[in-house]
Structure 1
C-alpha cells in the first residue's frame, strides 16, 4: 500500500513528463498520445522505475475512459443509437467474431500456441482502442461521418465483448464459480435492466435535477453535478460487474437528449483530456523495452500484420454488410489497432496462469506499436483511401477527380470560388445568385456536397488547400476567392496554396475573431472579415439607427472602423469567465485601464517620453474628465486623473503598466 506522499510524487512525475512531452510534440505537430506513451515507457517498471507498480495508479486511467465514454455518449441520442443498432449488433458482433477467429487460427495452427492462450491473445488483438479512436475522430471532426458512425458502433459492441472475455478467462482457468453460459446470460440481463433504468432516469429525473441546478447560477455546483452523474453511472455498472465505461456512455447518452448537452460537454472536456493523457501514460508503462529490443523484428512484423489484417477484415465485413467501399476502407483503417481492454485481458490471463510473461510482453508491445501509428492512420485515412481507389474517392457523392472538375468548370469565367460551403459559404452563394454572378464551391464534407448538389448548387468535392484542385476549379480565370472555413490552420493552408500559384486574384477571408487578422494579411489575404467584429458593427448600426443618428454619419463611422482594420474593435475588457487564449493557445488582445496619479512616473510626461512602443502596447484612448481623446498623439502630456485605455496582450500590458507607474 502506497503512502499519500508516494501517490503525490508519482502523480507529479506523470504530470511533469506529460507536460514536457506534449509541449514538444505540439511543436513538432505530432499527436500528443505518442508523448504520453513515451513518458509511460521511461518512468515505468521496465525502464527508470520511477513508478515501479503502475497498478497503484490504474484508477486514474479508468477515470479517463469513464469521462471519454461519457462525453461520447452526449453525442449519441437515442435516435442515433436506434439508427446504429444494425452497426452495433450486426457489424460489431461480426467484427469481433471474425477477427478473433482469424487471430486464433494464426496463433494456434501457425505459431503453435495452445487453444486457451490463442483465444485470449486473439480476443485482445480483436478489440480496438475506444480512447484513441474517439479522441482522434473528434479532433479531426469525423465523429459524425459515415465511417465515424461505423467505427463507434463497432467499438460499442467491443466494450460489451470485452466484458464477456473478462468473464471467460476465469472460466478457462477453472477459477470461476459459475458456468460460462450462466455468466453470459446474467451479463445480458444486467445490461438490459441497466439500460431501462438509465432511460427512465435520463428522461424524467436528470432534466429536473439540472434545471434546478441551473437556477442557482453556480458554475461550481453545475460541474460537480456533472462529475457526480458520470461517476455514479460508472460506479453502478462496476457494482453490477459490467464495464465502467459502458455505464458512463449510457449516462452521457441520456443527458444528450437534454438542452444542457453543450454546457455539460464543455465542462467535462478538461477532465476528460487530462485523465485520458494519464491513461495513455499507464499504457506506456506496460511496455517492457528489454523484450521490445530483443524481439524488435517480431514486434514490428506483428504490428504490421495486426494493422493490415485487421483493416482488411473490417473493411471486407463492412462492405459485405452494405457499407460503401470508401467508408468500409476508412472504417478498417480507423479500427486497425489493438485496444486498452486488451491490456486488461492479458493482465487477467497472466494472473490466472493462462499466459507466459514473455508472451504477454510481446503482445503488449505489438498493441502499443499499433496504437502509436493510429493517429496517423486516422489523420490520413481519406488520403490512403483515395490512393487505394483513386477513381472513386468517396461513394457518398458523385466522384470528382481533378480532371472531371476541370472539365465541368471549363466554361466558367470571372467566377467566384468559395472554399468551404458551410453556413457562411452558403450565405455568400445565395447573395451572389441574386446578382447572377457565377459561383463555384469546394468542400471536403461528402455528405454536405451530396445534399447541396441535390439542391442545385454548383459544388464539387475537393480539398481547397490542394493546388491541383484550385487549378482545376479555374483559379486562373476566377475573379475572386472567398475562404469561409472555420479552422485557422486550414484557412492559412488554403490561402498559401492560392498565393503559391502566383495569380493576382483578390482573396477575402472570413475568421471568427481578430486574433489572426494580421497573420492572414501577411499571408496574402486581400480582406479579412472577422465575424465577431462585423457582428458588433451591425449591432452598433442598429442601435444608432434607433437613437435617430443620421445614417450617413453611422455609415461613415462604420467605414472608418473597417478602413482602420477594426482597430477600434480590437480587444475588450476581460471578465472572470473570459478566455485569455484562443483555440490554438495564443493570447488574445485585451483592453485594460490604467489611471494616472501624482506618484506615477508618467505624470507630467508625454506619451512619447514613456516609450510604450517598446512594449508593443497602444493607447487606444485617454479618458480625461468628461471627454475621451481617441488615438491620442505622441506629444500629449499626461496629467493626474487621466485614465489610459491600453490595448495589447496580457504580458505586454503588464510591462506597460510597470513603465507607467515606475518607469
Structure 2
C-alpha cells in the first residue's frame, strides 16, 4: 500500500485558511474590519505565538500575489473624472495633509527614534496613508456619503492611495547597497517606471479591448477569468523583470481596464482570487507580528498608537483650516482619516523585504497600524460627539447651525419643520406652499439646499438627528415636524430627546423600514411612515385592482395587512 505524505506547505496553507475563516466570522460579528481578522489569525498561528506556520518562501509568494491583485483592484476603482470632481480636496487639502503628516512623523522618528532617513520616510508614509476601504464602508453603512466632510475624506484617501503607489516604486531604490549611489538607482527606477508604464498603458488602451472583445465572442466565463488572470500576472512579471514592483504593473493595467466597458465583468471574475490572495497576504503580515512585544512594550505601543492618531488628526485639521474649511468639517475629516491603510501594511512588508526596516521595527509599526484600524469604526461613527469635545478644548462649540443661523428668520412661527428635501420633501413643501402654510426644510445634500434657496424656499443645511439644529429652527413655535431617519435607533433617540425637552408638537417620522414601530410611538412619535412598507402595499393594491378585484376588497386587505404589523394600532393609540 502506497503511503501518501502530505507536504508541509499543504498543511500550513490549510491552517492559514481555517484560522482566517474562523477569525473573519468572529470579527464580522463584532463589526471589526476583515483586515484585522486576517492579521489576528496570522499573528496567532505564526512563529511568535503558536508556531503552527513558518513564514517561508511559499507563503511570501502568495502574499506578493495578494498585493498585486490589491493594486489591480485599486486601479479598477480609480477614476480620473472622479478625481477631477474632487480636485479641491485632492489637490488642495490632500497634498497639504499628506506633506505635513509625513514631514512631522518622519522628523519625529529621526529626532526622537534615531531611525535613518529612509526608514523614517517609509514608516511615516505607511502610517500617513488612510484606508479608503474602511472609510467608504463605514460612511456607506452610516448613510453619510453625501456629506461635505465625508466627500473631503474620500478625496484625500484617494490621493493617499496614489502616494502609496509612488512609495512602492521608490522603496526598492531606497534599499540599495552602500556602494550603489542612491540617486542613480532612483533615476533608473523612475525612468524604468515611465518607460514600462507607458508601454503598459498603450497595451491596455489599444490592445486589451480587442483581446477581451474576441474572448467575449467565445461566451465562456472560464476563458474570460483565465484571460484576466494571465493579463494581471503578465503585467506584474514585466515590471518585476526590471526590478520594479509587480503590483505597479497590475495597477496600471487596472486603471486602463477600469475605464473600459469590460470593467465590471473583470472585477467580478477576479474578486474570488483577489479576496483569497489578499487574505493570505494579510495573514502573512500577521505572522510577522511579535505578540511578545505587547507584554513587554504595550505601554509604548499604546502611546505610539495615540500619537499617530493625534498627529493625523491635527495635521488634517490644520490643512483643512488653511484651505478654508470650517473647524467642524476639519475635525470630522481628521477623525475619519485617522487610521492606517492596508497599503501601509504593503509598504512595511516591502521595506522589510529590501532591508530598510528590521523585523522588530516592522512588527512594532504593524501593531500600531493594527490598533489604529481597530479604533477607526468608533472614530468614524462618533465623529460628531468627539468633535464637540475637541471644540470644548479650543473654546468653540461646533454645531451644524453655525453657518445657517443667518438664513432662519428670528420671528418664524406656526410653521412646519421638514427634515429631508429630496423628491418627497419637495412634494410635501409644494402642497404646504399651495395652502399658505410656512415651512423650513433641511437637508444634508448641499446641492438640494442650493436648489431650494434658488427657488426662494427656506432651506438650510443640516440633519434632524441634532436636537440643537431643531431648536434653532424654532421647534417650540412649530405646528408640526416631519423627520426623516435612516436608523430607527437614531429616530427613537431624537424623538425621545424632543419630548423630554418639553416640546409637544405633533411629530411624523419617515423611515425606510417597518420594524420597531412600538419604540418610536412610545418615544413620542404621533405617526410613523415606513416608506418601503407603504410603497409595497400601494403596489400590491394596484396589482390586485388591475387583476379585477373590487377596490373596497383591496382596501380591506391592505388595512388588514397594516393592522397585522401593528401600524394602525400604534399610530391611532398615540393620536388618541
TM bucket normalised to smaller: 0.7 to 0.9
Closer, same or farther in 2 for the Cα pair 1:411/1:136, shift >3 Å?
A: closer
1:437-470 CA distance string (max 9 Å, x none): 3323333445544454444332333342333333
Alignment of structure 1 residues 352-431 onto 2, 5 Å: 352-385=354-387, 387-388=390-391, 390=396, 399-400=403-404, 408=409, 410-413=411-414, 415-431=415-431
Pair member with larger Rg = 1
Q: In the alignment, which residue of structure 2 is the partner of 1:153?
A: 158
Closer, same or farther in 2 for the Cα pair 1:544/1:135, shift >3 Å?
A: closer
Q: In the alignment, which residue of structure 2 is the partner of 1:437?
A: 437
Alignment of structure 1 residues 261-300 onto 2, 5 Å: 284-300=286-302
Q: Distance in 2 between matches of 1:480 and 1:208?
A: 62
1:238 matches 2:226: no
TM-score (norm 2): 0.75
Residue aligned with 1:296, SS: helix
The alpha carbon displacement at 1:351 in A equals: 4.0
1:182 matches 2:188: yes
Q: Distance in 1 between matches of 2:277 and 2:470?
A: 42
Q: Distance in 2 between matches of 1:444 and 1:381?
A: 16
Q: 1:20 aligns with which of 7, 26, 42?
A: 26
Q: In the alignment, which residue of structure 1 is the partner of 2:17?
A: 11
Q: Distance in 2 between matches of 1:484 and 1:231?
A: 46
Closer, same or farther in 2 for the Cα pair 1:20/1:345, shift >3 Å?
A: closer
Residue aligned with 1:456, SS: coil
Query: What residue ranges of structure 1 are gaps of 5+ in the alignment?
Result: 571-663
The alpha carbon displacement at 1:62 in A equals: 7.0
Q: Distance in 2 between matches of 1:227 and 1:509?
A: 48
Closer, same or farther in 2 for the Cα pair 1:322/1:436, shift >3 Å?
A: same
Q: Distance in 2 between matches of 1:75 and 1:491?
A: 34
1:513-533 CA distance string (max 9 Å, x none): 545556655655444434344
1:564 matches 2:560: yes
1:249-284 CA distance string (max 9 Å, x none): 8647855775996x9989999998888777665555
Closer, same or farther in 2 for the Cα pair 1:168/1:379, shift >3 Å?
A: farther
TM-score (norm 1): 0.67
Q: In the alignment, which residue of structure 1 is the partner of 2:571?
A: none
Contact 2:15 2:52 in 1 (8 A): no
1:191 matches 2:193: no
Contact 2:36 2:370 in 1 (8 A): no
Aligned pair count? 547
Moved more, 285-294 or 521-530: 521-530
The alpha carbon displacement at 1:2 in A equals: 4.0
Closer, same or farther in 2 for the Cα pair 1:456/1:275, shift >3 Å?
A: farther
Contact 1:421 1:484 in 2 (8 A): no
Q: Distance in 2 between matches of 1:461 and 1:347?
A: 44
Closer, same or farther in 2 for the Cα pair 1:353/1:536, shift >3 Å?
A: closer
Closer, same or farther in 2 for the Cα pair 1:225/1:166, shift >3 Å?
A: farther
The alpha carbon displacement at 1:181 in A equals: 0.5
1:534 matches 2:534: yes
Q: In the alignment, which residue of structure 2 is the partner of 1:601?
A: none
Contact 1:64 1:272 in 2 (8 A): yes
Q: 2:173 aligns with which of 168, 172, 187?
A: 168
Q: Distance in 2 between matches of 1:231 and 1:492?
A: 50
Contact 1:311 1:332 in 2 (8 A): yes
Closer, same or farther in 2 for the Cα pair 1:234/1:357, shift >3 Å?
A: same
Residue aligned with 2:48, SS: coil
Residue aligned with 1:128, SS: coil
More helix as a share of residues? 2
Q: Distance in 1 between matches of 2:22 and 2:312?
A: 36
Residue aligned with 2:24, SS: helix
Q: Distance in 2 between matches of 1:49 and 1:19?
A: 22
Q: In the alignment, which residue of structure 2 is the partner of 1:622?
A: none
1:613-633 CA distance string (max 9 Å, x none): xxxxxxxxxxxxxxxxxxxxx
